[in-house]
Structure formats: structure tokens, C-alpha cells
Chains A and B, each alone.
Chain A
Amino acid sequence: MTEASLYLLQQIINGLTIGSTYALIAIGYTMVYGIIGMINFAHGEIYMIGSYVSFIVITGLLAMGSFALPLVLFIALLVAMLIASTYGWTVERVAYRPLRGSNRLIALISAIGMSIFLQNYVALSQGSRDVALAPLISGSVLELGSLETFEVTLSWMQLLIWVVTLVTMTALTLFISRSRMGRACRACAEDLGMTNLLGIDTNRIISLTFVIGAALAAIAGLLLGLYYGVINPFIGFMAGLKAFTAAVLGGIGSIPGAMLGGLILGVTEALTAAYFPSEYKDVVAFGLLVTILLFRPTGILGKPEVEKV
């Protein structure tokens, strides 16, 4: 392979890695929007909390020593998912449910308020400076090309992100399409009022979507935290914005759309940063969003909204 194509391959690998984590966060936006039609702007903060919890658990377990690394990561993942889910559930219960049925704008403002609150809450309790973690997973799985020209590497960390994302998305897809709770979720997304009339307590289903979204965001929090090695209380804002873009790009309300949107956005960003000054990557990412909204307002996989009565 020529040097140029090796370079391109490397950017696609990097892009798919970041894109996978965007997709994980985007699920939370898209599922909530699909059911109650609101944008949960505090979702990025849930991801940030997931990152913090996993950092705390990893540091604590490593300090105690004598644990195998996979076990440490697994425990951190479970704890982060559990705590982030609790936050997701609480945010819905406290800040959104009392406002359900009122103007959409009011819930949106409440969400922005919640986002600011959570950021500052973490900044106060954990300090607002960067927290770093020494790389735990090093080495690469695959090296292509030679050092003289250009070497493509797929690191273990990247492979881990791919595998975890793939497993999570498969599990989610199976849950939504096969399980009875998933069936109830789909029913809510189609017609919340009718689902209620059939005797289903839709508030429980709505809580469940917040919990699932938060758990997935926590997975992304752990993975991206390990990948970058540095977190701070404000990472949720940009990550949330990117994931939201991914959700809209793929068609908000559609779960496969969020997955696809995340990957496309990640690769686009990586390619922009590779061939243009890297400051342009956000410009291109959000430019892509504007373009999609202009020419296909419902996103790539979204269907035109049917007016609900």
C-alpha cells in the first residue's frame, strides 16, 4: 500500500474509535427523544459523571493492588453504569417528569439548568482541574507498513472500544426487538397515549429509557476516559453536543440512526483533522449537521414525522 492510503486507513481507524463512543452517547439522546420528544441536554453530563466514577473506582482498586486489570475495568464499568443510571433516573424524576405535558421549551430549559448544575456539582466536589490516569492498556494489535514510510497501528485500547461498543449495541438491539420491555418501549415511541390506555405505566418505561441511555453514556465515559487519559468536569458539554449531532445526523428517534450517525461523525472529524488544520474538525462536524438539516431534516435514517393527535 502507498503511504497516502496507509495514512487514510489510520484516520479511519481513529475515526471509528471516536465515532463508536459518540454512538454510545447518542443512544441516550435518540431514545429519550423518540419517546417523549425532548432533548435531554443534561445527557452529556451523565457521560462525564460516568467518566469520573470509573476513574475513581479504577484508581481505588489499583491502589489496593492485587487485582487483575480486566477485573478492575469490569468492576469500574459496572459501578459507573450503576451510578450514572441512578443519576439519569433521578434527573428525569426531579427535573423533567413534573414538567411533562407543559410546553416543550420549559423542559428544555430545565435540562440546560440540570446540565449546568451537574457540571458545577462535579467541579465543586472533585475539583475543576484535569484529572489524569496513566495509560492502563498499551501496545497494539496490528501494525501495518514500515517505520520508514508510515505505520498504521490499531491499539489494544482501540480494539477494546470497538468490541465493547459492538457488544453493547448488539445487546441493545436484541433488547429492543425481542424483549417485552423493548416491545413496550417501541409502543411508547409510536403512541405514548395509546400505550397508557392499554394499561402500561408509561412513566416506568420513560424512566427505563433514561436508565439505559445513562448506562450507555457511562460505558462511553469509561472508554473515552481511558483512551484520552484526561478528564475534567466540562468534557460532558462538547461530547454531549457531538453525540447530539450524531443523533440528529442519523435521524433522531432512530436507534440504528444514532449508531450510524456516530460513526459517520467520528470518521468525518478524523479525516478533517488529518488533511486540514485540526481546529477545523468541529467546524466541519457541525457544518455537516447544518447541511444534513438543510437537505434532509429528518436525518439519514429518520422518517418524516407524522403529526400525532
Chain B
Amino acid sequence: MSQLLLDVNELTMRFGGLLAVNKVNLSVKHRQIVSIIGPNGAGKTTVFNCLSGFYIPTDGSIMFNGQQLAGLKDFQISRKGLVRTFQHVRLFSKMTVIENMLVAQHRHLNTNLFAGMLKTPSYRRLEKEAMDRAIYWLEEVNLLQHANRAAGNLAYGQQRKLEIARCMSTQPQLLLLDEPAAGLNPNETKELDQLIVRLRDEHEISILLIEHDMGLVMGISDHIYVIAQGTPLADGKPDEVKQNPDVIKAYLGES
């Protein structure tokens, strides 16, 4: 059990009479890419919303590194090392690329007003570290040359990459990506594919992914969960899931 990074047990989310998520179990190990797939409206994003503290789940437990997350506030969860992106881009579009990167590291910085006014050595050191980390991740996603542009003026694919870089600058252990390939062209999807694998292999973090691009999902996932209408349908290695008759039925309808 101890090597599980994320262990979700019987997660349930009810909105009035609507059962959006019904007893979903999930687990993510260290250095693993895990995907959640399922038809539209299956409750995948609701699961993400529960994990990231956007919703307070009706029932179930969310253990992250052995700590219960259910009931914590969103900023507390992200401080524990679980950060997410959204289906649509949510950058601070009026701020520059580098500012987006720095704001994400706000909590790592010394916000003491007097330290800021006096520019104490520890203040300078933390500031330099934040800047170094920002530059490092911008380089990783190939956006360093755009550092001083307003984030809203970047091309769509670049904005997607900036979102991931911004999450990474908070030094997470688990990254939740909600349809990161949506709206990307085939080349950009391939780059994204490589980036996600690199995050696992080189930066040793785990990724939980919601994605409709089956090529991407099947190619990089270590484990796949399928949910339909809020209920777990199947899970396993990509090949197993692909062959599963229930999954085929859920995606293609009954014949």
C-alpha cells in the first residue's frame, strides 16, 4: 500500500438526485501515467474536481501519500503536491508568460513585507530560485523566447504547454491533466505525448490523464480506468482495455 501515491476508494459525488460519480476506485503509483477514459458525460471531470478540492465528495476517501485529501480546500491540496489543468486553458492571459510562472510559485516565496522592502539575502535567494525554476520549465516546453509576451497572445498549443509548465513549477508529485490534447494539431499532440512521458521518466512524477485522443492514451498509459455514467466499467493495461467487450460496447453502443 505504501508505494501508492494516490489511492481513491469508493469516491461518490451526488448532485441532488443525480449520481455523477458512483463508487469509483483509482490508484496511481509513483512514476506512473494513468488515464481515465469514458464517453462524454461519464463523470471524468467530476472525479478531477473532487480530487483537486473543487467539489467536496459526497462519500469515499482520497488518500494522497497516506494523507486524506477529501474535505481539504483547493489551495491546501495543491500545496500537498497535487495540481491540475482544465479542459479549457486557464492562464492569467493579461500577465506575461514569466509572470504566470512566478505567480504559481508564490507560496514558495517569502511574502514578508519587510523582507521584501529590505531585500534580505534569503528573499533574494528564494526569488532567484523561483526565477531559475521558471526559466528551466519554460525551456523544457520551448517557450523561453516568449517569456515577456502576454500569455493570452500565445498560440493555442503554446498556451497548453505553458499551463503544464506552470503546474510543474509548483513542484508537484501528481499532475492531473484534463484533456490536454483537445484542440491540438497532430504535431502538437506528438510533442505533448513526448512531454508527458518525459515528466514521468526524467522528472519522476506521476500523471493522471483524462483524454479522448485514443492514440495518445493507448501509447503512453501504464494503466487505464474506464468509467461510464459515473460507474467504473473496467481497468487494466492498455491492451486489456482495448479488448474488453464492455468497453467496446460503451464506446460504440450496443449492436
Contact = CB atoms under 8 A, between A and B. Distances in A.
A191 interface: yes
Nearest to A201: B75
A197 B78 contact: yes
Contacts of A191: 90, 92
A190 B93 contact: yes
A186 B75 contact: no
Contacts of A196: 73-75, 78
B170 A198 contact: yes
A198 B99 CA distance: 13
A183 B93 contact: no
B106 A309 contact: no
A197 B74 contact: yes
A184 B107 CA distance: 10
A191 B54 CA distance: 14
A277 interface: no
A155 interface: no
A205 to B, nearest CB: 9
B103 A197 contact: no
Q: How many interface residues does chain A have, given as a range?
A: 20 to 34
Interface of A: 179-181, 183-184, 186-187, 190-191, 193-202, 309
Contacts of B106: 180, 183-184, 198-200
Interface residues of B, number: 29
Contacts of B54: 193, 197
Interface in B133-181: 166, 170
Contacts of B78: 196-199
Contacts of B86: 194
Contact of A195 (B52, B99, B103): B103
Given A191-B92, A196-B74, A183 B99 contact: yes
B84 A198 contact: no
B128 interface: no
Contacts of B216: none
Interface in B74-92: 74-75, 78-79, 83-84, 86, 88, 90, 92
Q: Which has the most chain A C-beta neighbours within 10 Å: B52, B75, B88?
A: B75
A296 to B, nearest CB: 20
A179 B114 CA distance: 12
Contacts of B102: 180, 183
A197 B75 contact: yes
